[in-house]
Structure 1
Amino acid sequence: MPTTIPGIEDAQTLAQAIVDTIHEPLIVLDGGLRVLAASRAFYEIFKVDSEHTMGCLLYDLGDGQWNIPALRLLLETIIPEKTAMDRFEVDHDFPGVGRRTMLLNARKVIYETSANSTILLAFTDVTARRLIEREKADLLKKAEDLLRQKQMLLEEMQHRVANSLQIIASILLLKARAVTSEETRHHLKDAHQRVLSVAEVQSQLHASGGVDRIEVGVYLTKLCSSLAASMIGEGQPLALRVEADHSRIGSDKAVSMGLIVTELVINAIKYAFPEPRADAVVLVRFDSTGDAWTLTVSDNGVGAAKTAAPLAHGGLGTAIVEALVKQLDARMEVRSAAGMAVSIHHSGV
């Protein structure tokens, strides 16, 4: 046989002991919203005593500190209809306690043997939690504001860099036209082309929209499309293709990679096809496995033996590419058979 409580007094004693055991404030109200019982935590947190609490109307407690419109809505409108409500939030300045944010859980208890009902009302103080949430929201807003400012500064810097590069390129071109020495003119035009190459890389990197990691295939495709538009004449039968997977690289590496591709592609367009060919093609290929990757620029042109390309025989172009390859912690391999292929390998280690 299950154990039963002998009398109503014992049941009330047990109920009060259960109420006092709960760490959160809890009160029991009758149908008229008068206090039948309150937990020790309720007295301690809201600084009221039993004498001025038991039997009192809830709204009269503590000189009316519980006469709160939101609480009235809960007890007089919501609870009669739903009989239960969880996490009903009340924000109020309690005298002697200060401003508190409380989550109220309410249950209406209906008895089988009586027409009377009671309401259990439990309080969870979430003041500190809400303060932390507000602080986090403020910090998030400040971080978002800083990111917006950073983006604006970055765009302004990129705009200034692009303008500066265009000015430098224009000055070099003017100087090239003004000098009488053919050798000096050649070097100035070469410098002019390289400044334009840097400007193009910077432009395409900005167009990719990322300042952290960008998709290689999209970046190289846009870069080569721009190079083809500026370097390949309308009647020139030369195709510039890009084959790349969907891997991403950091924008710092993308700059070096873009300059390498620009240098190699320009080199191939200028020197690989001294005579027009219907099947002429320059291919830019990028493959990756994990952190390891290979970048290859190849053509089906005349090859190193028959070309005057600086990259084939050493020179400024070679020095630039080698420096960029070293910057990427990679190694370069040059092959020349049917055409020319330059591969940049990064082991990922």
Structure 2
Amino acid sequence: MIDLQNIEDAQKLAQAIVNTIPEPFIVLDGEIRVLAASRSFYETFKVDPEQTRGHLLYSLGDGQWDIPALRVLLETIIPERAAMDGFEVEHDFPNLGRRTMLLNARTVLYDDNAISTILLAFSDVTSRRAIEREKDDLLKQTEELLRQKDILLQEMQHRVANSLQIIASILLLKAGAVTSEETRLHLRDAHQRVMSVAEVQRHLHTSNSIDQIEVGSYLTKLCRSLAASMTGESNPLTLDVTADAGWIGSDKAVSLGLIVTELVINAIKYAFPSAKSGDRIAVTYETDKADWKLIVSDNGIGKNAVTVGETAGGLGTAIVEALVKQLDARMDVASSAEGTSVSITRATFTSRMPQAA
């Protein structure tokens, strides 16, 4: 153990310890006069040791250290709390310019007398605060851009919906004006498909998320709307949806929505030529990590009496096949006198859910 013979030795040791501190550091007496300062304090603030030691802190630099926030720390907070960490001060410091400093202060009390000293350390966080402000500004700019994107997207969706409604109205008017029954049927089918696309678009528009869609809610609302528009009170047909919980991308949701719409419309129109109690269409969607399976099944007359997609190679079949290919999936059709099941499968997937029967 070092035996300090006199006060001078103790002071030398204390000053040597202070000088090893890398950040600006000063020791103040109870009257806020500078007893000692670290080498980094002199180098950082460009002050002369002879004009610093023994002087009132507030008088340094012709009074430029008389900082209101510093007075609050040393004269109000420290006497009450004895310690303070991270006290932030922004000031034009002499010979240094505008800086943001974090101050850590401690009061040292001695047992043998009422004299106390204050240890005060400075940490320059000017660059850190500037980076934080830049990040905040970038975040605000990003949020504003996202807000503008949402507005533009909503406007685009509104215009698409209006355009689809106009096209559907024109097709319906043309269907009523032509004399050919075959042409009229084609125009009405085209009208129904445009309305189906509009319905898919409407459900996507009402979602709370732009890029991700909750698949169960989406398919349920879509099928409910299809059933309401194509079946009346006298039609006992039921349309059930069962889907695993989860979210899918909006682009995938559009394709799945159009496939479901096409298959459900086809089943409603052709699978039940004679409406009866118990007629049922089931839509199921299952997932297994990245793989998924969509099944639209009915308990109608089967494809022996009607081909899936209206007629072999018909427009409905072509639309569904194109969408299935776009989703990198495959389509399988199983049919008998007890009904038809169309499965759209991404990779290998074994169904766990019941189908229409």
TM-based fold match above 0.5: yes
8 A contact 1:34–1:57 mirrored in 2: yes
- Select between 258-267 and 220-229 the one with higher mean Cα deviation: 220-229
Alignment correspondent of 2:132: 133
Deviation at 1:308, TM superposition (A): 5.6
Q: What is the one-letter code of the residue matched to 1:197?
A: S
Note the aligned Cα RMSD (angstroms). 1.4
Aligned pairs for 1:307-318 within 5 A: 307=306, 310-311=309-310, 313-318=312-317
Distance 1:224 1:216, change over 3 A: same
Distance 1:311 1:22, change over 3 A: farther
Looking at structure 1, the residues matched to 146 and 6 of structure 2 have their Cα atoms a distance apart, in angstroms, of: 69
CA deviations 1:270-298 (Å, max 9, x no partner) are 11111112111111100010000000000
Alignment correspondent of 1:248: 247
8 A contact 1:304–1:312 mirrored in 2: no
Q: Secondary structure at the match of 2:95?
A: coil
Alignment correspondent of 2:217: 218
Deviation at 1:96, TM superposition (A): 2.2
Instruction: Report the identity percentage.
Output: 69
1:263 and 2:262 correspond: yes
Alignment correspondent of 2:339: 339
CA deviations 1:230-277 (Å, max 9, x no partner) are 111122101111000112211111101100000001011111111112
Looking at structure 1, the residues matched to 312 and 301 of structure 2 have their Cα atoms a distance apart, in angstroms, of: 14
Structure 1 gap segments, 5+ residues each: none
Looking at structure 1, the residues matched to 83 and 265 of structure 2 have their Cα atoms a distance apart, in angstroms, of: 75
Looking at structure 2, the residues matched to 157 and 60 of structure 1 have their Cα atoms a distance apart, in angstroms, of: 65
8 A contact 2:285–2:292 mirrored in 1: yes
CA deviations 1:97-146 (Å, max 9, x no partner) are 11100011110100011221000000110100100000000000000000
Alignment correspondent of 2:353: none
Looking at structure 2, the residues matched to 50 and 134 of structure 1 have their Cα atoms a distance apart, in angstroms, of: 35
Q: Secondary structure at the match of 2:273?
A: coil
Q: Secondary structure at the match of 1:243?
A: strand
Looking at structure 2, the residues matched to 308 and 333 of structure 1 have their Cα atoms a distance apart, in angstroms, of: 13
CA deviations 1:30-70 (Å, max 9, x no partner) are 01000000011111111111011000000001111210111
Alignment correspondent of 1:169: 168
8 A contact 1:208–1:218 mirrored in 2: no
Looking at structure 1, the residues matched to 90 and 315 of structure 2 have their Cα atoms a distance apart, in angstroms, of: 72
Q: What is the one-letter code of the residue matched to 2:346?
A: H
Structure 2 gap segments, 5+ residues each: 350-357
8 A contact 2:200–2:222 mirrored in 1: yes
CA deviations 1:294-321 (Å, max 9, x no partner) are 0000011111112265346331100000
8 A contact 1:291–1:348 mirrored in 2: no
Distance 1:212 1:342, change over 3 A: same
Deviation at 1:214, TM superposition (A): 1.4
Q: What is the one-letter code of the residue matched to 1:46?
A: F
Looking at structure 1, the residues matched to 348 and 142 of structure 2 have their Cα atoms a distance apart, in angstroms, of: 33
Q: Secondary structure at the match of 2:304?
A: helix
Alignment correspondent of 2:122: 123
Looking at structure 2, the residues matched to 202 and 230 of structure 1 have their Cα atoms a distance apart, in angstroms, of: 16
Looking at structure 2, the residues matched to 289 and 166 of structure 1 have their Cα atoms a distance apart, in angstroms, of: 37
Aligned pairs for 1:46-195 within 5 A: 46-195=45-194
Deviation at 1:19, TM superposition (A): 0.8
8 A contact 2:175–2:187 mirrored in 1: yes
- Select between 182-191 and 299-308 the one with higher mean Cα deviation: 299-308
Q: For this pair of structures, how many residues does the alignment match?
A: 348
Alignment correspondent of 1:275: 274
Looking at structure 1, the residues matched to 327 and 8 of structure 2 have their Cα atoms a distance apart, in angstroms, of: 84
1:199 and 2:198 correspond: yes
8 A contact 1:162–1:199 mirrored in 2: yes
1:34 and 2:33 correspond: yes
8 A contact 1:176–1:185 mirrored in 2: yes
Looking at structure 1, the residues matched to 73 and 244 of structure 2 have their Cα atoms a distance apart, in angstroms, of: 59
Looking at structure 1, the residues matched to 266 and 85 of structure 2 have their Cα atoms a distance apart, in angstroms, of: 72
The TM-score normalised by the length of structure 1 is 0.97
Q: What is the one-letter code of the residue matched to 2:42?
A: Y
Q: Secondary structure at the match of 2:232?
A: coil
Q: What is the one-letter code of the residue matched to 1:343?
A: S
Q: Secondary structure at the match of 2:142?
A: helix
8 A contact 2:263–2:309 mirrored in 1: no
